Amino acid sequence: MATVQEAVRPAAMQQAQPAIEVSHLTKAFYDSEGDRVTLAVSDVSFSVARGEFVCIVGPSGCGKTTVLRILAGLEEKLSGTVKLHSATPPAMVFQEASVLPWLTVSENIAFPLSLKGVSRARQDARVRDMLALTGLAEFATARPHQLSGGMKQRVSVARALVDDREILLMDEPFGALDEQTRLVLQQELLRIWETTGKTVVFITHSVDEALTLADRVLVMSPRPGTLISNLTVPFERPRDVVEMRRDKRFWDMTYEVWRLLASPARA
């Protein structure tokens, strides 16, 4: 972790500073059996302001997960610098199902708190809030295998929110869900973000999802992934994930991003 969070600045300076600064980030994997080097991420630079909601879109295999895992300190970078200006380590919502099957819904949500010796009463209160926030109140004592895919993702989101970290990293959290469930969860995520003011980096391969959620969209090229565009999304907040589709600009931007993704060389 120490390599990632290189500096935690005093509170007075934080206002002026971005929450995340990534510059010239490069990551390669080495497969010793095939003696093969895979360049996953190449020379990526971007920054995220405090309280900003940024989406990264790109084709699968372009290194989105790798970037996020490096931000989370779960992966070593090869070169470049990554600075997180936050008092707490970032919380992660993983791409694949990550709910612990041996714990109930409540216990899963409480997991980060339970590791830090937080009192039972405080844990219970936080879990109750998270259950309400994510619409899981009826499922508090359910086991993960009794839940639908959408419910499990809600649990993962609740777990990432429970200890109130400043930065939230989300790796295609709704990627495996059906369209309706996804819309519902997107709307809820926006509501939660609007009330908590967290800094969010959200990965998706869906242009539609990126435009629905983000203040800014970073577009990545196919592997080795590098940033090919940085678009500001103009829609006002709070957003209605269905209504905003009546806005012509939504479709203009969709077209623009698709054009970038379809032919990175043109950008």
Partner 1 sequence: MSAAPVTLTEDELRRLKAPARRERLFRIASYFSPLLLLLLWELSSQFNLIDRRFFPAPSAIAGTAWRMTVSLELFQHIGATLRRVGIGYVMGAVPGIVMGLILGLSRPARRVLGPIFAALYPVPKIAILPLILLIFGVGDASKFVVIAIGVFFLMFYNTMGGVMQTPQIYMDVARNAGATRFQTFRRIAFPAALPSIFTGLKLAAGSSYIIIAAAEFLGARSGVGFFIWASWQTFAVSRMFVGIVVISVMGYLTILALEALERRFVPWAKH
Residues lying near partner 1 in the complex (CB under 8 A): 72-74, 89, 91-92, 94, 96-98, 100-102, 111-112, 114-116, 143-145, 159
238 preceded by cis ω (within 30°)?
yes
Residue nearer to ligand ADP on the CB measure, 60 or 148? 60
Q: Can you name the residues that pair with 200 across neighbouring β-strands?
A: 53, 168
Distance of CA 59 to the CA centre of its chain: 16
Size of the site for ligand ADP (CB under 6 A): 12
For residue 208, give the nearest of 174, 238, 237, 236 by alpha carbon: 174
Interaction of residue 223 with ligand ADP, rule CB under 6 A: yes
Query: If binding is defined by CB under 6 A, does position 65 make contact with ligand ADP?
Result: yes
Piece in contact with ligand ADP (CB under 6 A), picked from 9-17, 58-66, 136-144, 148-156: 58-66
Nearest alpha-carbon partner for 204 in 70, 55, 71: 55
Question: From the CA atom positions of the chain, what is the Rg in Å?
Answer: 19
Q: In the bound complex, what is the minimum distance in angstroms from residue 63's beta carbon to Mg ion?
A: 8
Neighbouring C-beta atoms of residue 117, cutoff 10 Å: 6
β-bridge mates for residue 29, sequence order = 38
79 binds ligand ADP (CB under 6 A): no
Answer with the entry of partner 1, ligand ADP, Mg ion, none that 72 interacts with (C-beta below 5 to 8 A by kind). Answer: partner 1
> Is residue 40 at the binding interface for ligand ADP, with CB under 6 A as the rule?
yes
When asked if residue 70 is in the footprint of ligand ADP (CB under 6 A), the reply is no
Residue 82: C-alpha distances to residues 7, 43, 48, 51, 180 (Å): 10, 12, 12, 18, 36
CA atoms within a 13 Å half-sphere pointing along the CA-CB vector of 166:
15
- Residue closer to ligand ADP by CB (options 166, 208) is 208
Q: Is residue 38 involved in binding ligand ADP (CB under 6 A)? A: yes
Pick what 100 binds: partner 1, ligand ADP, Mg ion, none; C-beta below 5 to 8 Å, kind-dependent: partner 1
Residues that bind ligand ADP (CB under 6 A): 29, 38, 40, 58, 60-66, 223
